Amino acid sequence: MQVQLKVNGKAASIDVAPNTLLVTALREHLKLTGTHVGCDTAQCGACTVIVNGRAIKSCNTLAAQQDGSEITTIEGLAQEDGTMHPMQAAFKECHGLQCGFCTTGMVMSAIDLCKQKPNASETEIREMLDGNICRCTGYQNIVKAVQQGQQAMS
């Protein structure tokens, strides 16, 4: 089936099987490999992307369900000149990553979190990132990064 999307500001038309997951369409059809597959059960958050302004886990939605949607992946955050999104810069500056596997999902979730709740407390940030798993950092620097990114975004 033909699916029409707007991905990172560009129109995309892809042919997919009806059971193709959005994460698969992004990674395999559009070659946007920054969106990671971590668990295949929507538990880890590594596959998080922004769809129509809201963060979703792309491993538990079908590409066909998103026909006509506007999708932003990690590749779509930086400006044309390579300047990082404020949240990406905050993760870099605060050392909010180690292996980097969860980072794309964390950044995408953090951006949505900050749009929903621009003045989130540390406790609220921790609660709102609950659906994103990091196996390396212990979360302290991730929370600091989100706080710094939150300030830069407001």
pLDDT tens profile 17-61: 999 999 999 999 999 999 999 887 888 999 999 999 999 999 999
**Looking at residue 136, what is its pLDDT?**
86
Locate 114 and state its tokens: 């900050």
Alpha carbons within 13 angstroms on the beta-carbon side of residue 122 total 6
Q: How far is residue 44 CA from its own chain's centroid?
A: 12
Can you point out the beta strands (E) in the chain? 2-7, 10-15, 48-51, 54-57, 70-72
Alpha-helix residue ranges (DSSP H) falling in the chain: 22-24, 86-93, 103-116, 122-128, 140-153
- Give me the number of domains the chain comprises: 2
End position of a domain, from candidates 21, 56, 76: 76
**Looking at residue 43, what is its pLDDT?**
87
- In 3D, which of 89, 82, 95, 75 has the Cα closest to residue 30? 75
Cα-only R_g, the chain: 15
CATH number for the domain harbouring residue 55? 3.10.20.30
pTM metric for this prediction: 0.94
Spell out, as residue ranges, where the chain has pLDDT lower than 50: none
**Looking at residue 137, what is its pLDDT?**
78
Domain encompassing residue 106: 86-153
Q: Does residue 133 share a domain with residue 99?
A: yes
**Looking at residue 42, what is its pLDDT?**
85
Calculate the average pLDDT of the chain: 95
CATH number for the domain harbouring residue 109? 1.10.150.120
